[in-house]
């Protein structure tokens, strides 16, 4: 199975270090949950959305966006700990302010709706992702494969899947503690069939460039693994 390195690319890679014109746009106040910590987590969830992939798809005809002029992030106001999702546009990207604002705002709004209305489902996805990764750690491949859904079974066999994992051993050796990072909902994912995906992302204590990701699809109201991706030490 190919490692999809793009699935955890965040907006920092598009950040402009120096620009002449800049505008910060507040897209969404994140106060839907009862605690500051949960609202901050919602900010991380939105920031980690696959924006670069969908930006390229949506605005493929706009050459000005190929530079470092679009940056998205969550912001915590010091006075009251209010969390907000923001968009920073600079230079040529400002020529497309209206379209970009609409694009980011629509995705942010949809993520908030899904995270609030499907709160329990997301919690189950995180718990099942942690359990599934422990199965891989312990080489309990049969049990992991039993959690697989239609997509996973259509693109790979168990033996083929296992053959992609040897380099994963370095993750445990080098990465240190696995840390839950974020989760997202996707109606569709490029190069994957079907709809309704729940993605859970993990990072590592000793190397921020390492990651693991479990992709679930909702099949008959049950979360089934449709993909697993990892980035090991470079």
Q: What is the pLDDT of residue 2?
A: 41
- Helices 97-117 and 119-137: crossing angle in degrees, nearest 10, is 80
The token pair that represents 32 in the structure block: 């839907």
Give, in words, the CATH class of 119-231: alpha beta
Which residue ranges of the chain lie beneath pLDDT 70? 1-20, 66-67
The CATH classification of domain 5-117, taken from the options 2.40.30, 1.10.1660, 2.60.40, 3.30.70: 3.30.70
Cα 164 to the center of its chain, rounded Å: 22
Greatest Cα-to-Cα distance within the chain, rounded to the nearest angstrom: 56
Q: What is the pLDDT of residue 172?
A: 78
Q: Give the integer Cα–Cα distance in Å for 126 and 86.
A: 25
Q: What are phi and psi of 37, to 5 degrees?
A: -60, -40
Q: What is the pLDDT of residue 12?
A: 38
Query: Which residue ranges does the chain devote to CATH 3.10.450?
Result: 119-231
Q: What is the pLDDT of residue 19?
A: 43
Residue 114 near residue 123 (C-beta atoms within 8 A): no
Query: Which residue ranges does the chain devote to CATH 3.30.70?
Result: 5-117
Q: Give the integer Cα–Cα distance in Å for 27 and 134.
A: 37
Q: What is the pLDDT of residue 47?
A: 97
Q: What is the pLDDT of residue 29?
A: 97
Q: What is the pLDDT of residue 165?
A: 87
Q: What is the pLDDT of residue 4?
A: 42
């Amino acid at each position: 199975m190919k490692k999809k390195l793009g699935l955890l690319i965040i907006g920092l890679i598009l950040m402009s270090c120096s620009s002449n014109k800049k505008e910060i746009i507040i897209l969404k106040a994140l106060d839907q949950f009862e605690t500051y910590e949960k609202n901050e987590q919602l900010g991380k969830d939105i920031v980690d959305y696959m924006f670069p992939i969908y930006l390229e798809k949506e605005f493929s005809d706009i050459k000005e966006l190929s530079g470092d002029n679009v940056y998205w992030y969550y912001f915590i106001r010091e006075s009251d700990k209010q969390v907000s999702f923001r968009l920073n546009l600079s230079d040529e990207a400002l020529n497309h302010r209206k379209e970009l604002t609409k694009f980011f705002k629509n995705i942010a709004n949809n993520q908030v709706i899904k995270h609030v209305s499907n709160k329990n489902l997301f919690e189950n996805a995180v718990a099942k992702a942690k359990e599934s990764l422990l199965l891989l750690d312990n080489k309990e491949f049969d049990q992991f494969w039993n959690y697989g859904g239609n997509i996973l079974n259509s693109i790979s066999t168990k033996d083929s899947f296992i053959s992609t994992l040897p380099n994963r051993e370095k993750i445990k050796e080098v990465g240190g503690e696995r840390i839950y990072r974020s989760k997202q909902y996707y109606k569709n994912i490029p190069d994957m069939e079907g709809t309704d995906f729940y993605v859970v992302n993990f990072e590592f204590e000793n190397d921020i460039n390492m990651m693991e990701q479990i992709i679930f699809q909702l099949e008959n109201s049950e979360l089934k693994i449709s993909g697993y991706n990892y980035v090991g030490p470079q």
